[in-house]
Structure 1
Amino acid sequence: MTFPDLVSVFFNTLVERFDLFGALGLTLGFTAGIMPRPQLILFTSAACATCFGAHYALLGSTTGVAMCAMSVLQSLVAARFAQSQARPPWFGGLFAASSLVIALLVLATWNGWPSAFAGTGALFAMAARLQGSASSMRKLFVCATLFWAGHNILVGSAFGFACDLLTLSGLGIALSKSERRAIVGGLRRSA
């Protein structure tokens, strides 16, 4: 093996093991789980999905890329309109149509179980984006994250799986804090 071959192998191994998009996505995934308000959760989720879309493109997961693109669009629309008291009349129809687009994209990019997991995770995440409360949103994001973990294991995304674990821990921390606040608030009201 020549020196240029060794450099090439080292570079390919380094690039394969360290993906800037995966690293940024991992950081943003955890951060989204601990954001205090639904709008911040959604904007951070959009940034996370953008990074993971690029990461999945490098891994060759076309369904992952397509689901991330849908996630970015849904998160940005939901961040702008889902939390308002009077949602625009087209809002529900747009999300209903996007569920159909998710199904069509999964079929168009079908790659077996990874596609099934990514599509199911995308549908749970879509339902989460429609929620008005951060707690309800987080509970559905837990379901979405579990399906994305299946996708990430099957496509070999170490960053994606690490992000799933961190996201679940962030969501768990935030859910337990909100649960404790609700219990303490209930005790204060009853006292």
Structure 2
Amino acid sequence: MVFLLHYLPSLSLVAVSGLAGLALGVLSTLLQDRRAILTAQAGAGALFVVHFFALGAHTGMLMCALGLVQMAAAYPERRPRWLGVLFALTVPAALAVAAATWQGPMSALSAAGFVLGTIGRWQSTVGRMRLFFLSSTVVGAGHNALAGSAFGLASDAMTLSGHLLSLWRARPAVRRHSALAVH
């Protein structure tokens, strides 16, 4: 079994980009502002472009690059029509990338995770963003397992935990009060 600490003594490109991407990815789950979440995700995405390139996981690398385009297009609160078109064009581009770099289930999982993340990034509220990111992360974990990305899998586990914690913290006050009440 490979542990993350086995990568650290070598300080390889895989290790450094994976560890930094992991940190920013987890940070994004704990932030409360939509634009701050997208900014942290963009930083993590850029680092995972490098990480997947170094691993030879070309589908994941290109999906992360398309995710950067999406995050730039989704960032403004008020989006002009052309940004919506640019954002939407990343979906057929992602499907083309999956077909062109086809590596079986690894590519299919990467494309499915990308589509779920796409829906999440276009949401106007943080709660809905997180719900789609949860599903995207579960599917993306399949890609990371097949790609052999220990950092990707660690990021997935921590990202799931972070999103679930943030959703729990943001639940309505009425539910929180009733959950704490003893009957």
Task: Pick the TM interval, shorter chain.
Answer: 0.7 to 0.9
Moved over 4 A (4+): 15-18
Whole-angstrom distance in 1 between the partners of 2:100 and 2:25: 27
Deviations 1:52-99 (A, max 9, x none): 11110111000011000011111122112xx22xx3122332222111
- Give the CA deviation at 1:184: 5.5
**Structure 2 residue 123 is matched with structure 1 residue 127:** no
Equivalent of 1:171 in 163, 166, 171: 163
Provide the TM-score with structure 1 as the length reference: 0.83
Following the alignment from structure 2 to structure 1, what is the Cα–Cα distance between the partners of residues 43 and 98? 22
| Counterpart amino acid of residue 29 in structure 1 | G
Check whether the contact 2:45–2:68 (CA below 8 A) recurs between aligned residues. Answer: yes
1:152 aligns with 2:144: yes
1:24-62: CA deviations, max 9, x gaps? 011111101111111011010000011111110111000
Greater Rg by CA: 1
Instruction: Give yes or no for the alignment of 1:53 onto 2:49.
Output: yes
Identity %: 33
1:33-48 mapped onto 2 (5 Å cutoff):
33-48=29-44
State how 1:30-109 maps to structure 2 within 5 Å: 30-80=26-76, 83-84=77-78, 87-109=79-101
Matched with 2:10 is 14
Would the aligned equivalents of 2:14 and 2:51 in 1 still touch at CA under 8 Å?
no
Say if 1:147 and 1:113 are closer, same or farther in 2 by CA, change over 3 A: same
Unaligned runs of 5+ in 2: 1-6, 178-183
**Aligned equivalents of 1:118, 1:70: Cα separation in 2:** 12
CA drift at 1:137? 0.3
Q: CA separation in 1, counterparts of 2:130 and 2:138?
A: 12
Letter in 1 for 2:116: F
Aligned amino acid, residue 23 of structure 1: L
CA distance in 2, matches of 1:64, 1:16: 19
- Cα root mean square deviation, aligned: 2.2
Matched residue pairs, number? Answer: 171
The Cα shift of 1:126 comes to: 0.8
Q: Which moved more, 1:35-44 or 1:13-22?
A: 13-22
Instruction: Give the structure-2-normalised TM-score.
Output: 0.87
Secondary structure at 2:75's aligned position in 1?
A: helix
Contact 2:73 2:84 in 1 (8 A): no
Q: 1:18 to 1:116 in 2, by over 3 A?
A: closer
